[in-house]
Chains A and B, each alone.
Chain A
Amino acid sequence: MIGRAVANEFAKMRRLRVVPVVVAMVAGVVALSCFAFTTPGFLDSVGDPSGQPWQWLLGSMSLAVPLTSPILLAVLASRQVDIEHQANGWLFSQTSGLPPGYVCRVKFVATGAVVVAATLAQSGLVFALGTLVGITVAFPAGQWLGYTASIVVVNLVLFALHLLLSARIGNQLVGLGVGVLGVFVALTSTGMPTWLARCFPPWGYYALAMPVDAREGGMVWLAPAHLSVLALGVAGGVLFMLITRLFDRQEA
Chain B
Amino acid sequence: MVGHGGPVAEMITTHDLGKTYGGRAVVEGLDLRVPKGCVYGFLGPNGSGKSTTMKMLLSLVRPTTGEIRIMGRPMRRSTRRELLGHIGSLIESPPAYGHLTGRENMRLVQRLLELNDDQVVRAVHTVRLHDHLDKRVRDYSLGMKQRLGIAMALAREPRLLILDEPTNGLDPAGIDEIRRLLKQLADGGITVMVSSHLLDEIDRTATVLGILGNGRMLFQGTRDQLLARSTPDVLIDTPEPQRAAALTAQWHPTRVDGEAVRLSGLDHKGTAGVVSRLVRDGIDIYGVRRDAQSLEDVFMDLTGGRGL
Contacts and interface: CB of A to CB of B under 8 A. Distances in A.
Contacts of A238: none
B100 A15 contact: yes
Contact of A14 (B61, B93, B96, B100): B100
Contact of A251 (B60, B87, B95, B97): B60
Interface residues of B, number: 29
A87 B111 contact: no
Given A8-B111, A11-B108, A95 B60 contact: yes
Contacts of B92: 88, 91
B100 A95 contact: no
B98 A87 contact: yes
Among A5, A15, A89, find the residue whose CB has the most chain B CB atoms closer than 10 A: A15
Interface in B87-105: 87, 89, 91-100, 104
A8 B95 CA distance: 15
Closest CB pairs A-B (n = 8): A92-B95, A252-B60, A88-B95, A87-B97, A15-B99, A251-B61, A88-B93, A95-B89
A83 B81 contact: no
B107 interface: yes
A109 B92 CA distance: 29
A8 B97 CA distance: 12
B117 interface: no
B95 A91 contact: yes
Given A11-B111, A14-B100, A91-B92, 15 more contacts: A8-B108, A8-B111, A15-B99, A87-B97, A87-B98, A88-B91, A88-B93, A91-B95, A94-B60, A95-B60, A95-B89, A95-B91, A96-B109, A251-B60, A251-B61
A131 to B, nearest CB: 39
Interface string A78-99: 0000010011110110111110
A12 B137 CA distance: 13
B221 to A, nearest CB: 29
Contact of B58 (A5, A7, A15, A95): A95
6 contacts: A4-B111, A14-B100, A15-B99, A16-B99, A92-B95, A251-B62
Contacts of A251: 55, 60-62
Interface footprint category on A:
20 to 34
A16 B87 CA distance: 30
Contacts of B100: 11-12, 14-15
Interface in A1-58: 4-5, 7-8, 11-12, 14-16
A14 B55 contact: no
A91 to B, nearest CB: 5
A100 to B, nearest CB: 10
B112 A87 contact: no
Nearest to A90: B95
Contacts of B62: 251
A11 B87 CA distance: 25
B279 interface: no
B84 interface: yes
A251 B51 CA distance: 13
Contact of B87 (A12, A88, A95): A95
B114 interface: yes
Nearest to B107: A11
B91 A12 contact: no
Nearest to B156: A96
A97 B99 contact: no
A96 B113 contact: yes
